[in-house]
Amino acid sequence: MNLKDLRCEIDQIDEQITQLLEQRMNLVLDIAKTKKIQKIEVVDLSREQLVLDRIAQKVQNPEYRSTIVNTYQDIMKNSRAYQQDFLKENKKTD
Ligand SMILES: O=C(O)C(=O)C[C@]1(C(=O)O)C=C[C@@H](O)C=C1
């Protein structure tokens, strides 16, 4: 396959990943709202470790494991930041 075709395939995969990340963020927002009501801390490092362990097990090619686990660390770092911003903004209107 040539570079153009390979990039075209990447573009298609990126569209799917983006849709899935949006679905994930919808759930992250619901979690933030639930945590607000239940007065639970946003950061839950034990849950994050469970997610990372699960992802590490799911990766089929061991060559890619650390790259994908690192990507998930970033996803959750950004998810946390989003929840914290959401709760901060919410506080102003309380
Ligand atoms: O499961 C939660 O409690 C979440 O808030 C979601 C999530 C995640 O993005 O997976 C984000 C922040 C927490 O530290 C743990 C996990």
Q: Is 51 in the pocket of ligand 1 (CB under 6 A)?
A: yes
Range of the domain at 42: 3-93
Of 68, 30, 35, which Cα lies nearest the Cα of 52?
68
**pLDDT recorded at residue 90:** 82
Give the model confidence (pLDDT) of 11-49 as tens digits.
999 999 999 999 999 999 999 999 999 999 999 999 999
* pLDDT at residue 1 in the model: 86
ipTM surpassing 0.90: yes
CATH of the domain at 34: 1.20.59.10
Question: Quick one: tokens of 88?
Answer: 């901060």
Count of domains in the chain? 1
With b for 16 or more beta-carbon neighbours within 10 A and e for fewer, the 6-27 pattern comes to eeeeeeeeeeeeeeeeeeeeee
If you take atom 16 of ligand 1, which residue's CA is the nearest one?
A: 48
Between 91 and 15, where is the model more confident?
Answer: 15
